[in-house]
Structure 1
Amino acid sequence: MLSLAVVTFVTWRLLIRATDERMDAALRAEVTEFSALTLSGFDPLTGQPFTGVDAVLRSVITYNLARPNEKFLGYVDGTYRFQSRIEAPVLLSEDAAFTRLVGSVTSTQAGSYDSGAGEVLYLAVPVSLQGDPQRGVVVVAYFADQEREPAAQTARLMLGVGALTTLAAAGGAWVVAGRILRPVRDVATTAQGITETDLSGRIPVEGRASDELTDLAHSVNAMLDRVETGVAAQRRFLDDAGHELRTPITIVRGHLDVLDPADPADVRETVALVDDELDRMNRIVSDLLLLARAEQPAFVRPQPVDVAALTADVFDKVRRLGDHAWVLEDVAQVDAVLDPQRVTQALVALADNAARYTDAGGRIALGSRLSADDLRFWVADSGPGVDAGDRERVFERFARGRSGARRSDGAGLGLSIVTAIAGAHGGRVVLDSVPGRGATFTLVLPADLAPPAGDSSDTVDDATATADVPEPVGGTL
């Protein structure tokens, strides 16, 4: 709007100046014409000598055609006598003040007069004729304000068109700016809608072209995902810990309340029970911390591993878990990129789970195989199997299956840990079971093959040596 005002004002002033220069040039041209017309002393209309000042004035005014907004007037001895016939906004011939101003000049005079129709620019030229005592004056007058009206109309037109253009541009800018800044408003709205109990709000980015604001929306959404995941993990840890630790604490407190310090047998039994419950609480806390770490990026540390050596090494460790018929069915003769410690931990948990639910002398098999794009590790047992209704539930935290004669003394976190390890590798856990005929748990990982190393078995042995087999993860079924 400021630019429009400046351009309009400058244009208007330039047009006014051009109009004033044109009027000034026209007035001076009239003086030249008057001089040329009267210099010869003959009337150009009749060819006869002028008979008097009146004749000179009449001839001059008649001979010159007045332009629009231009007026010719003749005065003799200070009195109005003649004028051009072109209509004018006001009659200067009837303006006594103007007559006094120009009617009796003795030399050429130019000036400005404020009439009822606005500013009048005039040029008064005295006229005399030898032998005639009368004194005449020829006046050329321009109604300047009317002559400048086209410039004013142009300025008004520019202002009108400019105002409409400005409004249209402002409306378009409002719409465009609104669409461009919508992600910023979405960020503010989403941030205001997020509370301590609801972190699900996200910035909508569907159908939007890729630009800096869209990248900002994606980044904020990713940050909110990480925040929600972290808060959910914290809440889940607190809920799980509170849920599972409440029972052993209650048991310990109940026995301590009824403890008879004077009865050595009662003290020994209570101490043994408290020690057992504390061990179980320690295992629960360790498992919960492990699950919490499973949601962190550094939970797994992949490296090239000889899968055959890893499978054999895990088999050597787990076959001491119980009096069962342990069988190493197959090994994958490949080198793959995975975390050997976490895979060992998962297989040990599955093997420990199978040993708990398989009768003495029952068959438990372990193996690995490369199948298409998957690397599979499995543990199969001949135990009671898993009911169809429990196949999804057994992977949940603190869940146990209802089949089988025995129940595990674990916290029900083993299969949750195995699932977390598989998920951290980008894989999954598959359960294949027939009730009464055993179950097979398969760890399915992406087959990220690595080029063979010189002696990969040593690497596997070193990497897997830290797996805590003597302290197996609690069973889940």
Structure 2
Amino acid sequence: MTTVPTGPTTTDRTTTTESRGGRLSARLRIVAWVLLVVLASLAVVTLVTWRLSVAETDTRMDAALRTEVDEFTALTASGRDPSSGTPFGTVDAVLQTAITYNLARPNEKFLGYVDGVFRFQSRQASPVLLSADPAFTALVGPVTEPTAGTYASAAGEVRYLAVPVTLTGAPGRGVLVAAYFADQEREAADDAALLMVGVGAVTALLAAGGAWFVAGRILAPVRSVARTARAITETDLSARIRVETGRDEMGDLVSAVNAMLDRLEAGATEQRRFVDDAGHELRTPITIVRGHLDVVDPGDPADVREALALVDDELERMNRIVADLLVLAKAEQPAFVRPEPTDVDALVEETLAKARGLGDRHWGVVKSVGGLVQALDAQRITQALLALADNAVAHTVPADRIVLGAAMSGGVLELRVSDTGIGVADADRDRIFARFARGGGARRSEGAGLGLAVVGAIAAAHGGRVALSDGVGAGRPGESGPGATFTLVIPFRAEWS
């Protein structure tokens, strides 16, 4: 993903460098965590594998020792020398025959003792001469029953099984010893563990490289967001992040940031336009007042009265503009409306009574809600309906009808103001709801074009909208014009949550 801006400025680079100098970058932290997880996993696997291999080797050595003793027992059970068939005459002969016929495995040793003194051993080479070790001789020479154990020799651990040997009618007491040099037998497991450590080191390096690459790809949109944010100024909100990957979490992040920037730019544009329009609207009455005050003749009472009337009228118009602007500003606040259970029929009746004073028209009311109670801010709804009624008066003549009505349709409350006036041109139907916009054909135009914007804000605050359709005079013979119907469409709520 890349951004529209060309890149960070010198200040941006300095800031980036300082932030990296003060702490590890996110990329390095990701690599460090990946390495930590990989190394910890390899350490656990290596340790467990090594321990299992050592345990298997120890089990195999113990089983081999028992097998050797069983073979010795089977060999000498007959009491005869298997080579000559003659009976054994001495314990020495029994031990010598057993050691000769039993072939020792690598790292295995057979030894024979008579009356606690070493006499025989197998020919296989061994790391140390156990036969010359008086401590080992003292350990195994005197045993009177089969004994298994370990011995710490100069070559490391020795696992042994010592079995006493006696011969009926022959003097002397012998001991046959089968011994394994355990450390040497475990060398295969140790070598495998060292090999795993080496492979693990290479794997960790590859994982670090992969993590560095992947972290760079993952964090690229984040860097793009940062560059775009630095490129945005108070006067230029046009920078956007260009999405070049599929719809994943980072794509969602970029889309969300771009949408946020769209909203900020739209809000800033609307604010600038609002300020420009408000300034223009307020500048006009000020210019008019100053122009008339500059030419008024203080000595002419009639001219002074005329000037004061004009000033009062323009000040009243400015007051209405400021009041509408304040309403629109408050519309963005949560407490703009304070809904309470309201009798819709009574609200429409009261609004109609107030609207009659707006102009000499044929006023009427249409209600079909049957005592409906809706959660509404009665004052704000009255304000909206009176604004629509005032707008209808501005686009009608005394012979026209203006009707207020209420109805329920599809789970929504519809509050209507219809007239038989000149109607709204198709080209104006969307534009008239914008701030400071005026529709064509108004019979009086002293307003600032904020009335319908205020009505829309009040409807939106109630979770609804304003709809525009033809009026009560559409298609009716004898009516003066097609008219227009403005409808507040508000979702039904008996209580406001």
TM over 0.5: yes
User: Match for 2:489 among 441, 445, 456?
Assistant: 445
Query: Does the CA-based 8 Å contact 1:311-1:367 persist in structure 2?
Result: yes
Counterpart selection for 2:364 from 328, 335, 347: 328
AA aligned to 1:421 is I
Name the structure 1 match of 2:394.
356
**Among residues 282, 307, 315, which one is paired with 1:278 in the alignment?**
315
Tell me how far 1:286 sits from its aligned partner.
0.2
2:424 is matched with which residue?
A: 386
The AA in structure 2 aligned to 1:352 is: D
Q: Normalising by structure 2, what TM-score?
A: 0.56
- Which residue, out of 45, 55, 59, partners 1:4? 45
CA RMSD of aligned residues (A): 6.1
In structure 2, relative to structure 1, the CA distance for the partners of 1:264 and 1:120 (3 Å cut) is: same
**Secondary structure of 1:246's match?**
helix
Residue 246 of structure 1 corresponds to 283
SS of equivalent residue, structure 2 residue 441 = coil
Where in structure 2 are the equivalents of 1:81-230 lying within 5 Å? 101=132, 142=180, 144-149=182-187, 151-152=189-190
The one-letter code matched in structure 2 to 1:383 is: G
SS in 1 for 2:358: coil
- Counterpart selection for 1:339 from 353, 356, 377: 377
Kindly indicate whether the alpha-carbon contact (under 8 Å) linking 1:308 and 1:331 is maintained by their aligned counterparts in 2: yes
Cα drift, residue 376 of structure 1: 4.0
The residue number in structure 2 matching 1:471 is none
Structure 1 distance, partners of 2:239, 2:366, is: 46
Paired position in structure 2 for 1:318: 355
Cα distance, 1:185–1:277 mapped onto 2, change above 3 Å = farther
Q: 1:378–1:440: 8 Å Cα contact kept in structure 2?
A: no
CA–CA separation in structure 1 for the residues paired with 2:433 and 2:130:
115
Shift of 1:410: 1.0
Secondary structure of residue in 2 paired with 1:408: coil
**Is this contact kept in 2: 1:16–1:148, CA < 8 A?**
yes
Counterpart position of 2:438: 400
SS of match in other structure, 1:279: helix
Aligned partners of 1:327, 1:99: CA distance in 2, in Å?
124
Q: Give runs of aligned pairs for residues 257-272 of structure 1, distance below 5 A.
A: 258=294, 272=309
Decide whether the 8 Å contact of 1:200 with 1:228 is kept in 2: no
SS in 1 for 2:422: coil
Q: Which residue is 2:458 aligned to?
A: 421
Residues 9, 420 of structure 1: CA spacing in aligned structure 2 closer, same or farther, 3 A cutoff?
same
Distance 1:383 1:341 in 2: 27
> How big is each residue's C-alpha offset from its partner over 1:104-133, in whole Å with a ceiling of 9 and x where there is no partner?
x99897888778xx99889999xxxxxxxx
Instruction: Indicate how the Cα distance of structure 1 residues 59 and 321 shifts in structure 2: closer, same or farther if over 3 A, else same.
Output: closer
What is the CA-CA distance between 1:249 and the residue it aligns to? 3.6
Aligned residues: 392
Q: TM-score, normalised by structure 1?
A: 0.58
Please list the CA deviations of residues 242-274 of structure 1 after superposition, one character each: whole Å capped at 9, or x if unmatched: 342233344445556x46797666766655544
Structure 2 residue runs of 5 or longer lacking an equivalent are 1-40, 113-118, 142-150, 164-174, 250-255
Change (3 A) 1:450 1:222: farther
**Larger deviation, residues 142-151 vs 324-333:** 142-151
Deviation at residue 393 of structure 1 after TM alignment: 1.7
Paired residue type of 2:425:
D
Retained in 2: the 8 A contact 1:11–1:155? no
Deviations for 1:429-472, whole angstroms, at most 9, x for unmatched residues?
32316797252223243474869xxxxxxxxxxxxxxxxxxxxx
Mapped contact 1:299–1:424 kept (Cα < 8 A): yes
Tell me if the contact between 2:424 and 2:439 (Cα under 8 Å) persists in the aligned partners.
Answer: yes
Q: Match of 1:313, as an amino acid?
A: E
Do 2:468 and 2:486's aligned partners in 1 also have CA atoms closer than 8 Å? Answer: yes
Give, in whole Å, the separation in 2 of the partners of 1:201 and 1:8.
Answer: 53
Structure 2 counterpart of 1:418, which letter?
A: V
**What runs of 5+ residues in structure 1 fail to find an aligned partner?**
75-80, 126-136, 210-218, 452-477
**Matched residue of 1:412: which SS?**
coil
Distance (whole Å) between structure 1 residues aligned to residue 82 and residue 484 of structure 2: 131
The change in CA–CA distance for 1:102 and 1:409 in structure 2 (over 3 A counts) is closer
Secondary structure of the residue aligned to 1:319 is helix
Partner SS state of residue 454, structure 2: helix
Residue identity over aligned pairs, in percent, reads 46
How big is each residue's C-alpha offset from its partner over 1:263-318, in whole Å with a ceiling of 9 and x where there is no partner?
66676665554443332221101011112223434333344444443333323222
| Map 1:294-313 → 2, pairs under 5 A | 294-313=331-350
Shift of 1:412: 1.0
C-alpha separation between the residues in 2 aligned to 1:371 and 1:142? 97
Matched letter for residue 354 of structure 2: K
Matches within 5 A, 1:366-385: 366-370=403-407, 372-373=409-410, 374-385=412-423
CA-CA distance at 1:342 after TM superposition: 2.5
**Are the equivalent residues in 1 in contact too, given 2:65–2:161 (CA < 8 A)?**
no
- Structure 2 match to 1:412: 449
Pair 1:293 & 2:334 matched:
no
Q: Secondary structure at the match of 1:276?
A: helix
